Amino acid sequence: MWAYVVRRLAYSLVIILGVLFLLFVLFFLVTTPDDIARKAVGEKAPPQALEQWKKNHGYDKPRFWNREHPADSMLVDHFRRMLTFDFGNSDADDTPIWRRLRSGAGPSLSLTLPLFALGLLLTIPLGLLVAFFRETYIDRMGVVLCVLAMSISTVLYIIGGQYLIARVLRWFPISGFDPSPVVIGRFLAVPVLVGLLAGVGDSVRFYRAVFVEESGRDYVRTARAKGCGEARILVHHVLRNSLVPILTQVVVVIPSLVMGSILLESFFGIPGLGSITVDAINANDFATLRTMVYLGSLLFILGQILTDVSYTLVDPRVRLE
């Protein structure tokens, strides 16, 4: 297994280099440093100000190859800084990006962790329930409801959920954030509920499909022939044997929880990494955006590795080789 993990890590490193190269193409070739500087300093800024800004932000180096100092070009710089997590300063207001990341991770996690955990607790039992009633009207109704729920745009869940829960029912504050443990729940309630609703259709349908597929296997027939009850079959046999597809879906997102939710955070005023990303869009802050895409990819790749490892924990037949 360790040989596998090492090989897997090596391939991941290659992928990370690919991601970095793609980011270089996007942020240094498609958009040129001149574009970035002009957006930061202003269209009508004098050329000297532009040059000064580029110099301050390291955008004035040769793009690929510096003949005098081979290790001092934007390409080399980009790779070196990203790989050593030296993200530098924001293009918009020169705050260190690391400071932003540190300040945003907590609020992001306080939103996404409950959302993730409650989502699993809600959707897997619902999926089992619908699968329990498969090929009856309840099942068909469930599937139709899922399709209906999936057809509503996330942004509508956000507007509608906030209107209903915070304005009409007045259960919780409309938006805002306060990290003190006494009141944090009140501020997170609406975004978590909205996030749960927005994802429920997709997930329940997926879990139902997994459970129904698994219910067609021979061992289920055997269990039924032994006189095992249908509910017991679902929970003890089907659920356990469905863990591999479930883990594939679930584990991969765990590291990315730190990145928060772009839509929920920006709308409900939670100062997490999602909000920071939206601010970066509005401020044309390419350095922060670049960092976010890089970190997101890194965490996603980590999630993929964890997924592979998690298979060995639930399925003794899986050997990572």
Partner 1 sequence: MEPYLLSNAVVVVLVGGLAAALASARRSRVWRDAGRELVRRRPIVLAVLLAYVAIGLLDSLAWVSGSSAGTTQGADTVSIHKPRSAIDRLFPDERYREKSYSAPLADREFLGGAPLRHPGRHLLGTDLLGRDVLYQTLKGARVALLVGGFTTLIVIPLALLFGVVAGYFGGRVDDVIFFLISTLASMPSLLLLIALIMVLGRGPVQVCVALGITGWVGFARVVRGETLKLRELDYVHAARALGASDARIVLRHIVPNLMHLVVITFVLTFSGFVLAEAVLSWLGIGIDGSWGRMIDQARDELSRDPIIWWNLVSASVALFGLILAVNLLGDAVRDILDPRTLRERA
Considering beta carbons, is residue 210 or 259 the nearer one to partner 1? 259
Supply the minimum distance, in Å, between the C-beta of residue 195 and partner 1. 14
- Interface residue with partner 1 among 203, 271, 301, 310 (CB under 8 A) is 301
Binding to partner 1 by residue 125, rule CB under 8 A? no
Q: Which of 247, 256, 233, 246 is nearest to 207 (CA)?
A: 246
Q: For residue 265, give both structure tokens.
A: 């955070």
Give the three-state DSSP class for 84: coil
Closer of 89 and 256 to partner 1 (Cβ):
256
* Residues 43-82 close enough to bind partner 1 by CB under 8 A: none
User: Is residue 216 part of the contact set for partner 1 (CB under 8 A)?
Assistant: yes
**What angle (nearest 5°) sits at the alpha carbon of residue 184, between those of residues 178 and 185?**
150
Map tokens 């934007």 to a residue.
Answer: 74
Residues in contact with partner 1, shown as a per-residue x/- string from 169 to 188 under the rule CB under 8 A? -----x--------------
Nearer to partner 1, 54 or 290 (CB): 290
Contact 289, 277 (CB under 8 A): yes
Q: Which residues contact 21 (CB under 8 A, 6 or more apart)?
A: none
- Applying CB under 8 A, which part among 126-134, 148-156, 187-195, 218-226 lies near partner 1? 148-156
SS3 233: helix
Q: Nearest Cα to 128, choosing from 202, 204, 218? A: 204
300 in contact with partner 1 (CB under 8 A): yes
Looking at the Cβ atoms of 10 and 14, the one nearer to partner 1 is 14
The Cα 89–Cα 98 span in angstroms is 8
Neighbours of 174 (CB within 10 A): 14
Selected range binding partner 1 among 99-107, 125-133, 150-158, 311-319, rule: CB under 8 A: 150-158
Longest dimension (CA), the chain: 84
Size of the site for partner 1 (CB under 8 A): 44
Interface positions with partner 1 (CB under 8 A):
14-15, 18-19, 22-23, 26-27, 30-31, 147-148, 150-156, 159, 163, 167, 174, 216, 256, 259, 262-263, 266, 277-278, 281-282, 284, 286, 289-290, 292-293, 296-297, 300-301, 304
